[in-house]
Structure 1
Amino acid sequence: MKSWNSNSNRTVHGVIAGFLSLGLPTWAAATGTAKPSTAVAALGQTEQPGDPSGFSMAFLQGAYQAADVKSLLLGSEVMAGTYRVDIYTNGDPAGRRDVTFSVNPGTGQVEPCFTAELLTQAGVDIRKLEAQGKALQGACLRLPELIEQASAHYDAPRLRLNLSVPQAYMSASHRGYVDPSLWEDGVPAAFVNYSLNSRRGWSTRTGGSNDRSTSVGLQMGANLGAWRLRNNSYLTTGSRQSTQFQSQNTYLQRGLNAIKSQLQIGETYTNSPLFDGVQFQGVQLASDEAMRPDNEQGYAPVIRGSAESNATVEVRQNGYLIYSATVAPGPFEITDLSPSGSNGDMEITVIEADGSRRVQRQAFSSPPLMVREGRVRYDGAFGRFKRNGSGGERPIFGSASLLYGVSGNVTLAAGLQASAGYQAYSLGAGVNTRAGAVSLDATHSISKNDGKSLSGDKLDLRYGKFLEDTNTNVSVNYQRSLNDGFRSLSDHVYAKNRSDGVDPYASRYGYTRSRVDAYLAQNLGQGNRYGSLYLSGSDARYWDDSRSRSLSVGYSNSLGRVSYNLGYSHMRNVNGGPYGRRYSDNLMSLTLSFPLGSGAGAPQGYTSLNRQGSGSSVQAGVGGQLPTERDIGYSITAGRGMDGGGSGSAAASTTTSFARLGAGYSYGNHYHATTLSANGSVVAHGGGVNLGQSVGDTFLLAKVDPPVAGVGLSSYAGAETGRNGYAVVPSATPFRSNWVGLDTRKLTAEVEFDNAMQQIVPTRGAIGQVTFKADTGRRVQFELTQPDGKPMAFGATVDDADGNRLGITDPRGRVLAMLSEDKEKGELLVRWNELECRIPYALPARTEGENYQRISLKCDSARAIERKNPPRQGPLVGQDPSTKKL
C-alpha cells in the first residue's frame, strides 16, 4: 500500500524546502532572535557543531532521519538515494534511468553519480575521455570533474536530470538517437484498421433514381515477437458496380537490428532510389534509416485541391488505391500519404456529392541520392513481378541498389535489375554543394521481346535545396531518355503482355521521352509576415509526340483576422496525351476564412470562389467545434454550384475513444446526397479486445493496473481506457522515445498513480505497451497529535501495520494516505525524535462528494524506538517505488 504518487513526492520536496527556507527564519525573526540557532537552542535543543546550516537536525526530525533533511538545508535539490529520473542531455531526451545521488565530500552537496555505461547512454563519447587518461572505472563519477564546463542539474519537481555537456565530448551520432538496448518489440497482438466511406445520392433528372457507393479500406496485422504480419485490402460496392474485394498486398516483416535493416517476405514493393518501384511477390532486405540518428524520415508529397461539396478523395499509385477520405467543401490538403514505392505518379480523383469526378495527376519521385560519410544504404529484392489484375506473364526478377557516402559531400550509387529478357544497370553520384544537393544517375536497359532486342539509356537529374536566408525550399527532378529504346522493368513486362494479347492498355502512359517535376515553397518575410507561396508543376513528353503537363500555384496570407488563399491549377494533355484523349482543365480559387467571435473556441466563417472552365461556383459557410467536452466538429455551407444551381451542405464529425465518425448532407441542382464515414481500429491482445481510433503501423497500448475504466490520455482527444483497463494509443514513432501521459484531471479521489507519465521506444511495426500502476481505495488525511495534545512533530514517519511507509507529517501533524479497501481498520506506527507510537484507527462510512476524509487520531502513549528491528523502509521522497530501496 502506497501513500503518494510521484506528484505527491514532489510536493513533499516543496513542503520541506519551503518550510525550512522560509518558515523557520521568519519565525526566528519574529521572536527577536538574531540567529536561527539561538531560537533552536531556546527550545532546549543543542546546535550541532560544524553544522553549516545553523539548525539542529534533532529539533526538526530526530536523529533517525536527520541526515536526509540536512541535505535540503545544505541547498541540495534531492536527498541521497537512488531515483528513477528522466535524463536530458543538452536539451534532448536520453532516456529514463535509475541514478544514484550521494554527498560529494568535496562540495558537501548531494550530486548524481555516473558510471561509464550511464555516460554513454547519455550521449557522452567516453572514448575521448579515455584518450585523455580519465579513470572511468568508478561507480560514482562526477560529471563536472570529468569534463570541464559540464554540469548536472536535478529538477526535483519534474524528476528530471538535465546535463550540459560541451559538444566536443558528445558522440557524433547522439542527436535523435536512442540506445538500441531500449528498443522494444512490443506485445503479441492483432488489429484491424478500417476506413469506411459511404455515399448515397438521388437525382431528380432521372425520376428520383439513386446511386449508392461504399468503400472500406482495411489494414490488418498481427505481431509476435519481432515478426509483423500485414495485409492491405479494399472492399468496394455500389449500385453501378459489383462488389469487389482487392487484396493489395500481404507480407511478413521483421527488423534486423544488428545490421539496421528490415526484412520483408510476401507481396510488397521495391524501394530502390535508382529504379521505378514495382510490386512483387518475394523477399526484400533494405536499410532502415529510422534506426539511425539524425536521418531523413522519408518523403511523401502534399496533395492539394478543392471540393465543391462533401466529396470523396481517392489517391492511386501504379493503379492501386492507396488513400481514400471524405473532405468538406472548400480547399483540402492531404499530408499523411504512404506511397507504395519510391517513384510513380499519384492519380487523384475527387468524387463530388452529385457523382461527378475530377481527375488530376501529381508527380512523385524520390529526393536526391545522398547519404552521410561512411554510411551504406542498400536494398535488395528477389521475387515474381505482380500485375494489377489477372492473367499475363509475371516474370521472376532480381533488383539491388547500393549508396555509399564517400565523403560528407559525395555519394556514389550503383544498381542492377535483371529478369528473363531484361537487364538494367545504373550508376550515379550525388554531390552536396553550397548551391544545394544534386545527383545524376544514368541507367542502361536491354529489353528482348518477340525476337527483337531494344536498348536505351536514361538520365535522371535531381536537385534539392533549402535556403535558410530566404526560407525557400526548392526541388527539381529531370528525366530524359536518350533514345526510344529505353524500357523500365514495368515497360518490359507490359509490352510483353501486350504482344501476347493480354491487357492491351497495360502501358497506357506510353514511353516517356522526357519529364521535369518542380516544387517550390517560399515563406515571404520574417515569420511569414508577407505570406507564403508554393508552386508545383510537371511536364512530360512521350515518344509518340503526346504530352501532358500540370501546374499548381498557391499563395496564402492574412489581413488582420482574415486569412485568405489564392490558388490556380492547370492540367493539359496535348495530342491525346497519356489518357488517350485531349484534355484541358483550369481551376482558379479564392478562399477567405475569419473567426466569428473573439473567444478561443469561436466558429470560423469562410467564403470560397472557384472558376473552372466556363463555370464558376461560390460557397459561404461556417464551421468549428461545439463547446462540449467531446470533440465534435461541424460545418454548414450554402452557395451556387458550377452548373448555376443552388447548392449547400452540412457535416459533422466527432472523435470518440473507439472511432472517428462523420456524417454529411449535400444538395445541388437536381440532386441531393448523404455521406457517412467511420475510421477506427479493433485491437486484440493479451488483456482482451479494445476498440480505438485509427492506428498507424506502429502504435501502443496503455494499461492501467489494476483496471480502471474511463482514464483519458493527455495527448489524444477522446482516447480512454475501457473496462479492461486498456486504451489504444493511435500512433508512435519507431526507434524514438515516445511519452504517454494519463489525463488525471477527472479521476475520482479513489484512484491515484505512482507515475502518470511513461516512456517507451518501440521498433518499427511494434504494438508497444506501457503500464501505469494504480492505487485504488480511500484517500484519508490523518491529523495526528502527540500525547500532550500538541500536533505531531513535523517530519514524523507514518507506517501501516505491515511496515509500508504511508508518508511523513507536515508542520501541522497531518499526513495524506491512500488506503486499500482491505484497510478499513488497522494501526499506524508513528516515529519521531527517537519515539514511536502505535495508533489504532477505524474509517467511518464514505461521504459522497468528498475528495478525501479527515480523521483525527491521538497518540495515547509513546515509547523509545528499539534499534534492533527498524521498520522496513518504503521509497525515499521522490524515489520511484520500482527502484531499489536503500
Structure 2
Amino acid sequence: MTFKPSMIRQAILLAISCSVWNAYASEFNTDVLDAEDIENVDMSQFAVAGYVLPGKYTLTIFVNGQRLGAPREITVFEQDKNSEAASQEICIPADMIDLIGLKESEIDKVKITHDGQCLDLSGLTGVQTKIELSSLSLKITIPQSWMEYNDPNWVPPALWEEGINGAFIDYSANASVTDENDGGKRTYLSTNGIAGVNLGAWRFRADYSANYQKQQNGSNTQEFHQFDFNRLYAFTSLKKLAAILTIGENYFYSNLFEAWQYTGMSLESDDRMLPPKLVGYAPEIIGVANTNAIVTVRSQNRVILETTVPAGPFRIQDLESGVSGVLDVTIREENGEERKFSVNTASLPYLTRPGRLNYKFATGKTRYNNHDMTGNPVMSGELSYGLSNAWSLFGGAQLSEDYKTVAIGIGRDLFAFGALSFDITQSISNFREQKLQGRSYRLSYSKSFDELRTDVTFAGYRFADENYRTLTQFMDQERTGYAGRSPKENYQIYLNKYFDDFSLSLNYQYSTYWQDKPQMQYGLYASTGISIPSLSQQDVNLSISATRTERDSGYTDDAINVYVNIPFYNGHSVTMSESYSGYKGGNNYNHNIGYSGYSDRDNYSLNVGYNHGKNIDAQSSISGYYSRDLSQATVSANASYVPQQYRSFGASISSGITTTAHGIALHQSTYGDTRLLIETPDVSGVPLDSGVIKTNGQGLAIIPNISSYRKSTASINTSKLPDDIEALAPSTDITLTKGAIGYRSLSVMKGQKLFAILSLSNNKKPPFGASVRNADNRELGIVGEDGVTWLVGISPNEKLSVYWGGNKECELNLPEKLDTTSSMLLLPCT
C-alpha cells in the first residue's frame, strides 16, 4: 500500500537531525522536532557522543589515520546500563598491541582485560577511541610522543602482511602471421611469464618462455619450437634483517662483479624495507621500430621482457630495478627482419648511507644454458658500509676451488663536485694447463650540475690486464677451452642537458680488447616543444636521435631518426617520422606519417610509409595498431600491408590468473610480483581505482603491481558505480611483502533505495532515531519523524529488524515487488 503525502519537510529534518545528534553532547532539546508524539522519540543511541549499540562489529582500525591491516571483529560493551548516559567500552583485540606502534616504554602501561581479549589504553594520557558506523571504522588517536614510528611515508615491519596462500600464472603472448606474395608464409608465436605458488611467507616461482616459428616456401617447410623453465626458485622476506633469502636457480647481479648464473642460495639486503624509501636504479631502453614489432629484452639469455610496439620511436622504462650488467635487445619487425643491440646498465658510484651495511651473499654451483651446472661450488659476496656522510667502503669476493677474485673500493661524496668511486679487483684462475692472475681497475663518477641544469648520469673508466678473468669468462674458458675476447679498456659517459623547452642526451662508449679490434658506440637524443597555434593548442613535439656503432668486424652501423608529434584534441595527434639506417655498406630510408590517439583504456595508430635505399627494393606500406586495457588483460592487435610483397597480422595479450581460497580471478599481468585481491562479497561489476578493473561474477578482482613494503591504497570508483550499489567502505590500505597475494574485502551493498513509512500494530510509529537493520546486522536506515525512513540496499522479500532502546522490537517484511517510483511505501512493523 502506498500513498503520496508531502514529506519533503520531514525528509530534510530527518537528514539534519541525524547529522546533528551524532555531533553534540548527551542532552537534547526535543522541542525542535515537529513531531505529533514528542514522547515517541528514542534518543538512547545518541545520548553519548559516538554511541553505538552494544554488540559485535566488523570494523577497520585506524591509528592516527593509518589503517592497521584488514577489518577486525570489535566488541562493544555497555558498562552502566542504569545510567541515563550509559558509558561504553570498546574492546581493541589484544593481539594488535605490536601493530599499534607504541614505544617499548609505553607498552607496559597498557592493560589486558576481559580474560586476555582486550587492550585497555586508558593508562596512556590523551588516547581517544571512536567508532564511526558510517565508514565501518574504529579510529584511535594516540599522542605522537607515545609512538615509536614518526615517518608518514614508511610503514613499520609489524604492519607488513605476508598475504594469503594462492597460486597464479602471469603471461604475455604474441602471435604474427605474414603472407608473402610469392606464396611463402611465416608464422611466429611466443609466450613468456611466471608461474607461482605462495605458501605463508614463502614464494615459489618458475620463469618460463616458449616460441614457435614456421617458414613455408612452396613444398619446403621449416619449423622450430622451444619451451623451457628458465628459472626455478623460491624466496622469502626476512623482516628483521631487511633482506631477501632466495633458494634455487638465480642470477647474481653485482655492483662489483659481472653478473652470473648459479643454483644455490643467496641473502641480499633490500633497502626498500628501510625508511625512507631508496629507489634503485632501473635501466631504460630507447629504440625505433620501422613496423609493428616485437621487442625482446634478455639478461644472461633470460627473457625479462617482451612487448609489442607500434611503428615509430619507443621507450621502455618498466624494467626491474635489480637488473644490471649488459642487456641484449632484439627488435623483430613484422617482415621477419631482426635487429639487435646491447644496453649497458652501469650503475652509479657505490655510496652507502652513514652506518648502513648493504650486502649480497650467494653460494651454489655456476650455471649455463638455463639448468646445466658446471665446475665447483662458488661462494660470492659483497659489502658496502657508510663510514660517514662523505665516505663509503665496499668490497667483495668470489671463491671456488679453481677460481678466486677479491675486490676492494672506496666511494667519496664530493658534495658540490659530485660523487666518485674507485675499486681494484684481483682474480686468480687455475686452468688445467696454466694459472693466470690479473687485475682490473675502475673509476666511476656522477654529478648533477643544478646551476647548469646538466647531469653526468654516469662516467667511468675501466682497465683490465690480459690475464684478468671474470667468473663468467673463467667458466666459459674452462668448459670450452677457448678464452674468448678479453676486455682491455672501457670508457663510457652519459650526459643529460636540460633547457627551458629543450633537452639533450649524449652517450659514448669505447671498448678495447686484448685479442680483438676496438668497438665504439655513441649517440645523441634531443627533444623540444614548438608552439604552432594554428596547428595545435599544445606544443608540437620534435625529437631527433642519432647513433653510430663501429664494430670490431670493421663495419659501421648508423641510425638517424627524426620524429614529429602534432597533438590535437582528446589525445589525438598526427605523427611524422624520417629515419635512416646503414649497415655493411647498405642503407635504408624510411618515411612515415601517421594518426594516433589514446584514452584511459585505448591506444591506436594508423601509419602509411615509404621505404627505399641501396640494395633494397622501394616499397610503400600501410599499418595499424590498437591496444586496450581490460579488467582481465591488456590486448593489442596490429596489421600491415606492403603491396606486391606481403601482408601481416599480429596480436598480443598480457594477462594472468590467480586462484585462492576466496575464488579464481583473471586479471592484468603482474609478472610474478605483488598483487592485491579485492572482494566485494556477492556483488559483481564494482569498478576499482580508475574504473578499468571491475570485480567478476564472484565479486573478485586483482589489482596488479602493488608496491612491496610500501602502503598501497585501493578504492572503489564511486563515480562509476551502478545506481543500485552503495559503497559502505570505499577504500582500503595494505602493506605487503615482496611477491605477496594481499586480500581485502570492501563493503558494498546492492539493492534498491526508497522512502518508507513504518507503522506499528497499534497504529503508532517506531520512535524517532530507531535503527533499521538487515540479517547481517547492517544498518540500512534510521527512523525519522512520523516513521519516515530512507532505506538503502534493500531487496524484494527481505526481512528487516527495527531496534530501539538497545533491543529488537519488531520486524519488516518487504513485498515481492518494490516500486521505487512511488513517493512513499507503507510498511507495517510487527
Measured against the shorter chain, the TM-score band is: 0.7 to 0.9
- Deviation, 1:754, is 3.3
Is the partner of 1:493 in helix, strand or coil? helix
What is the match of residue 589 of structure 1?
A: 561
Q: Secondary structure at the match of 2:696?
A: coil
Shift of 1:636: 0.7
Q: Is the 8 A contact 1:13 1:156 kept in 2?
A: no
Distance in 2 (alpha carbons) for counterparts of 1:13 and 1:549: 79
How many residue pairs end up in the alignment?
Answer: 769
Q: Distance in 2 between matches of 1:802 and 1:726?
A: 21
For 1:324 and 1:454, locate their aligned partners in 2 and report how far apart those are by CA, in whole Å. 40
CA distance in 2, matches of 1:412, 1:169: 37
Alpha-carbon offset, residue 95 of structure 1:
7.1
1:335 deviates by 0.8
1:200, 1:335 → 2: CA distance?
A: 28
Q: Classify 1:546/1:522 alpha carbon distance in 2 versus 1 (closer, same or farther; 3 Å).
A: same
Q: 2:47 aligns with which of 50, 62, 67?
A: 67
Which residues of 2 match residues 133-148 of structure 1 at below 5 A? 139-140=121-122
> 1:248-294 CA distances to partner (integer Å, 9 max, x unpaired)?
11112122222222211111011332211101111111112222222
1:194-222 per-residue CA deviation (whole Å, 9 max, x = no partner) reads: 11112222333xx2312222211131111
Q: Is the 8 A contact 1:363 1:517 kept in 2?
A: no
- 3-state secondary structure, aligned to 1:486: coil
Q: In the alignment, which residue of structure 1 is the partner of 2:670? A: 695
| 2:543 alignment counterpart | 566
CA contact under 8 A between 1:344 and 1:364: conserved in structure 2? yes
After the TM superposition, which residues 485-884 of structure 1 pair with which residues of structure 2 at under 5 Å, given as runs? 485-499=467-481, 507=484, 510-525=485-500, 530-544=501-515, 546-560=517-531, 561-574=538-551, 576=552, 581-597=553-569, 601-613=570-582, 614-625=587-598, 631-643=601-613, 644-668=618-642, 670-704=645-679, 706-715=681-690, 717=692, 719-745=693-719, 747-748=721-722, 751-776=725-750, 778-784=752-758, 795-798=769-772, 805-810=779-784, 814-818=788-792, 824=798, 828-829=802-803, 841-847=812-818, 850=820, 854-857=824-827
Q: Specify whether residues 640 and 155 from structure 1 end up closer, same or farther in structure 2 by C-alpha distance, changes over 3 A only.
A: farther
Q: 1:386-440: CA deviations, max 9, x gaps?
A: 1137879443211111222222332211211112321101111222231333222
Aligned with 1:412 (options 393, 407, 411): 393
* Alpha-carbon distance in structure 2 between the residues aligned to 1:823 and 1:859: 14
Contact 2:268 2:361 in 1 (8 A): yes
TM-score by length of 2: 0.80
Q: CA deviation at 1:180?
A: 1.9
Contact conserved, 2:231 with 2:370, CA < 8 A, in 1? Answer: no
- Aligned partners of 2:203, 2:307: CA distance in 1, in Å? 26
The 1:683/1:853 distance shift into structure 2, 3 A limit, reads farther
Aligned residue in 2 for 1:300: 282
Work out the CA distance in 2 between the residues paired with 1:216 and 1:790. 70
CA distance 1:713–1:123, change in 2 (3 Å)? same
Identity of aligned residues (%): 25
**1:181 match:** 158
Task: Check if 1:198 corresponds to 2:212.
Answer: no
Cα displacement string for residues 775-806 of structure 1 (whole angstroms, at most 9, x for unaligned residues): 45554533347999999775444467998754
Query: What secondary structure does 1:697 align onto?
Result: coil
Distance 2:822 2:156 in 1: 43
Q: Which stretch has the larger CA shift, 819-828 or 662-671? A: 819-828
The SS at the match of 2:736 is: strand
CA pair 733-631 structure 1, distance change in 2 beyond 3 A:
same
Q: Distance in 2 between matches of 1:321 and 1:837?
A: 64
Q: Is the 8 A contact 2:296 2:306 kept in 1?
A: yes
Q: 2:451 and 2:822 mapped to 1: Cα distance?
A: 59
**Does the Cα contact within 8 Å between 1:538 and 1:550 map onto a contact in 2?**
yes
Is the CA contact (8 Å cut-off) linking 2:540 and 2:567 kept in structure 1?
no
CA distance in structure 1 between the aligned counterparts of 2:442 and 2:691, rounded to whole angstroms: 43
Corresponding residue number in structure 2 for 1:430: 411
Distance 1:42 1:773 in 2: 35
1:639–1:648 CA contact under 8 A, matched in 2: yes
| d(CA) in 1 for partners of 2:673, 2:442 | 34
Of 176-185 and 802-811, more deviation after overlay is shown by 802-811
Match of 2:186 in 1: 211
| Cα gap change, 1:815 to 1:550, in 2 (>3 Å) | farther
Is this contact kept in 2: 1:285–1:380, CA < 8 A? yes
Q: Kindly provide the CA deviation profile for residues 551-577 of structure 1, in whole angstroms up to 9, marking residues without a partner as x.
A: 332222323413323222323234x2x
Aligned to 1:5: none
User: What is the identity, as a one-letter code, of the residue corresponding to 2:347?
Assistant: S
Whether the 8 Å CA contact 1:115–1:139 is kept in 2: the answer is: no
CA contact (8 A) 2:60 2:67 kept: no
**Displacement of 1:710:** 2.4
1:60–1:795 CA contact under 8 A, matched in 2? no
Q: Do the aligned partners of residues 100 and 553 (structure 1) sit closer, same or farther apart at CA in structure 2, a change above 3 Å counting? A: farther
CA–CA separation in structure 1 for the residues paired with 2:822 and 2:390: 65
CA RMSD of aligned residues (A): 4.5
Deviation per CA, 1:113-132, whole angstroms, max 9, x where unpaired?
Answer: 999999996778787x99xx
Compared CA separation, residues 64 and 171, structure 1 to 2 (3 A)? closer
Shift in alpha-carbon separation, 1:238–1:808, aligned structure 2, 3 A: same
The 8 Å contact of residues 309 and 648 in structure 1, kept in 2 or not, is answered as no
Unpaired runs of at least 5, structure 1: 1-10, 24-35, 46-57, 72-80, 103-109, 861-886
Aligned positions of 1:305-324 closer than 5 A = 305-324=287-306
Q: Which amino acid aligns with 1:550?
A: Q
Contact persistence 1:603–1:622 (CA under 8 A) = yes
**SS of the residue 2:355 aligns to:** coil
Which region of structure 1 is more displaced relative to structure 2, 563-572 or 170-179?
170-179
Report if the CA contact (8 A) 1:384-1:397 is conserved.
yes
- Find the aligned partners of 1:775 and 1:38 in 2 and give their Cα distance: 33
Give the secondary structure class of the aligned counterpart of 2:162: strand
